[in-house]
Structure 1
Amino acid sequence: MLRVLTLATLFPDATRPQFGPFVERQTMELAALPDVEVRVIAPIGIPPLGRLFSRYRKLAALSAQEVWKGLTVYRPRFAHLPGVSGRLDAALLARDLVPLLREIRAEFAFDVIDAEFFFPDGPAAVALGKAFGVPVSIKARGADIHAWGSAGPTRRQIVDAGRAADGMLCVSAAIRADMVALGIPGDRIAVHYTGLDHARFYVRDRVAAKASLGIFGPVLVSVGALIERKGHGLAVAALADVPGATLVLIGAGAERAALEALAVRVGVADRVRFLGSVDQDVIADWLAAADVMVLISASEGLANAWVEALASGTPVVIADVGGAREVVDRAGAGRLVTREPGAIAGAVRELLSEPPDREVVAGAAARFSWEANAVQLRAHLKGLL
């Protein structure tokens, strides 16, 4: 029996059900294998006086331990100090987790620590692995390498953690190259592609899917947090040059008000819909109805939304970042574009005027599955023992 302690600061909870659903699903699939047991540590960083603010009060009120979709999940709090660019997060996380791991180890003798994000999870996991004498794996997902890995206060911690880890995973070959460029040894990094729920994301009748949602005409869908990095503003600006199309933004975030104002300025407010944060079934319904999925991120590892759109038979218009070329590997899958409204609009118009065969589009996602993801993860972790 392989006993895995999964460390994931990116993991859903009752206040944030869509916070890292891909980490949740990966962990559930791993735990479902017959020779694997998993416990999840999903730490919550709370600053001094943080409980004075609504956001942190809700997080502080979460149960310290619960069964979440069949997984035993611990939600310890750790000290997060704002204003220091994250430089102390990993050290404080490791420090505050030691007592809990001692308790867990008394009844669950974990064999390996599986960190699911490179910062602060990675450096903390390395420290904890040394303290408890177990090997450590760290997974890179994109923003952890591109944001934290490029920031002065945390770059060194990420590189040191990569050099000290017993093994590493990453979501695309492109991210692996970025990690190597930082100085992390490539011989211990394996590409571990995301999974895909083929029972949820599949080719459906597009006309019927649109009718069930009460929408008609060309539909563009963008799935991702409403933050600047995701490039939703570029999609909104491009919509002005795609007559008659509706853009549906799925996700929540601080940029919503700015995006609403932009839609008014460029004259498309009546053709932009904001759905907020919704569950996976709703996302699947919209991707099945969409003519094109548009996501012009400034950086990505390999976005789950890309793969889910393709599996739904919906071509993508995305920026040439991260693992984009590993997904758009055939003409029918969509277009890679520069981050400029004119280029985006032109690619969308091409796909609307000559829609690719939906089964050909779906073929680009055929190799992704949660079953394959879990089996590879188990083999990787066993190989570290």
Structure 2
Amino acid sequence: MDGIMKVLVLSSLFPNEAQRRHGIFIEHRIAHTYTAEDEVRVVAPVPWFPSTSPRFGAWADFARAPRQASRRGVEVAHPRYPVLPKVGQTLAPWLMAAALARPIARLRERFDFDVIDSYYLYPDGVAAALLSRWFDRPFVMSALGTDVSLIPDWAPSRAMILDAVRRSAATTAVCKALADRLVELGAPAQKLHVVEHGVDLDLFRPPVDRDGLRRQMGLRGQVVLSVGHLIDRKGHDFAIRAVAGLPGVTLMIAGDGPREAALKRLAAERGVADRVRFLGHVDQAQLPALYGAADVTTLCSDREGIANVLLESIACGTPLVATPIWGSPDVVRVPEAGRLAAERSVEAIRAALAGLLADLPNRALTRRYAERYDWAETGRQHRALLARAVSDHGKGRA
């Protein structure tokens, strides 16, 4: 390992007490990136909102987020920054950076950080590029998914993202498809590094008594699991329609969100309300039991980096059917991992599910394949990039 570092982590996706599911994979990633000797502080900006009333939904969650917290022994600050919906997209990185400048300057009086470690390219990564210039510190940023697959479709944000990549010490991507897309957009390939996400292999593991677990849950026959926020992008409606054509197969849906009522109506319209279980929000600690009880997990998203669902499922020994988008082919590339649907359509997803349910791989082999996605290796690769950024910056100032 290189020398001890002082690292400022910057990410608006970092979880907090009001948003417990918010980017928990980032918390896992940084927990495995730094040594015990490294010093780490997290600045996780939260959009400013004046009311905590539940009628404002997610905006009220922002208002309920604490100003300061400690998670896994790491000091976390949640300064507020202004957000101008729709009209403010061009200004978003500048507004974030300007709002963070003073809190970071105060922090620097007692924590003179060596490098900024930023997650999500826009606005966070672009804001990190501005703060890097203002505080004369190198920065590394990480691409996670829609910051490459969607946001750069808008020309002004694309230009800012590409400029930030050029000025970064390094930019990581959680899958090769994201890195390739950045190169297509004009990013310099030498700045890009694929550093895949990992999975908590201790938490997510096959159940000791799978049959007993299934009896406890009242499960009979073959079971498909779909996990994720109930929004259009996750494609739970595709899963419902696909399972409707697979007699006797039960679908469990873990998650909550604005599409819940519409999805329940769809299940009723398709005549499968008795075969679709809506489980609502499920805490992470309870997810391994669901994966372990299911025969197959399906991910029907239209875009993802490498979805946590993929890695969590195979770590529990449960194979996958996934749509062939972005990072999913990087994971579902061997038979023991499952099958990719030919396309994102109900027919293709149904065919892949039917084929996999008829020929399930050995669950022990699925788990063994998952063990390559170790957070420790993710952390080692990421820390090496940060250490090199600090070293190169020091040489440049010498």
> Shorter chain as normaliser: what TM range?
over 0.9
**Structure 2, unaligned runs of 5 or more:** 391-398
Pair 1:372-2:372 in alignment = no
Structure 1: how far apart are the matches of 2:237 and 2:59? 29
Q: Could you tell me how far apart the structure 1 residues matched to 2:57 and 2:326 are? A: 35
Alpha-carbon distance, 1:289 to partner: 0.8
37-46 or 126-135: bigger deviation: 37-46
Aligned twin of 1:344? 349
Q: Determine the structure 2 residue equivalent to 1:243.
A: 247
- Equivalent residue runs for 1:155-170 within 5 Å: 155-170=158-173
Q: CA deviation at 1:246?
A: 1.4
CA contact (8 A) 1:171 1:191 kept: yes
CA distance in 2, matches of 1:57, 1:200: 31
Partner of 2:41: 39
When normalised by structure 1's length, the TM-score is 0.95
Report how far residue 88 of structure 1 moved: 1.5
Range that drifts further, 59-68 or 131-140? 59-68
In the alignment, residue 242 of structure 2 is paired with which amino acid? A
| Structural mapping, 1:2-151, within 5 Å | 2-31=5-34, 33-46=35-48, 53=56, 55-84=58-87, 86-151=89-154
In the TM superposition, what whole-angstrom CA distance separates every residue of 1:327-358 from its partner, at most 9, and x where no partner exists?
11212221111111122112112222221111
2:177 is matched with 174
Q: Give the letter for the 1:352 counterpart.
A: L
What whole-Å deviation, never above 9, does each CA across 1:108-145 have from its counterpart, x for those lacking one?
A: 11100011111110100000000000001110011111
Q: Which runs of 5+ in 1 are unaligned?
A: none
Q: In structure 2, what is the Cα distance between the partners aligned to 1:306 and 1:15?
A: 26
Q: CA deviation at 1:186?
A: 1.4
How far apart are 1:65 and its partner, in Å? 1.2
Q: TM-score, normalised by structure 2?
A: 0.92
Q: Which sits farther off after the overlay, 217-226 or 73-82?
A: 217-226
- Say which SS state the counterpart of residue 326 (structure 2) adopts: coil
Matched, 1:360 2:365: yes
CA distance in 2, matches of 1:51, 1:331: 48
Q: Give the share of equivalent positions with the same residue, in percent.
A: 37
Quick one: structure 1 residues 286 and 61, their matched pair in 2 at CA, closer, same or farther if it must change by over 3 Å?
closer
Distance 1:245 1:16 in 2: 33
- The question of 1:273 aligning with 2:280 is answered no
Of 305, 309, 314 in structure 2, the residue corresponding to residue 310 of structure 1 is 314
Amino acid at match of 1:62: A
1:107 is paired with a residue whose SS is coil
| 8 Å CA contact retained: 2:17, 2:66 | no
Q: CA deviation at 1:312?
A: 1.2
One-letter code aligned to 2:309: A
Distance between the aligned counterparts of 1:115 and 1:350, measured in 2? Answer: 41
In 2, the alpha carbon distance for the partners of 1:212 and 1:116 equals 40
For 1:151 and 1:228, how far apart are their aligned partners in 2?
Answer: 21
Equivalent residue runs for 1:208-357 within 5 Å: 208-337=212-341, 338-357=343-362
Kept in 2: contact 1:85–1:153 (CA 8 A): no
| 1:69-108 deviation digits (Å, cap 9, x = unpaired) | 3210000000000122622211100000000010111101
* Selected match of 1:384 from 382, 386, 389: 389
RMSD, aligned CA: 1.7
Corresponding pairs, count: 383
Write the distance in 1 (CA, Å) between the matches of 2:377 and 2:25: 14
Equivalent pair of 1:30/1:36 in contact (CA under 8 Å): no
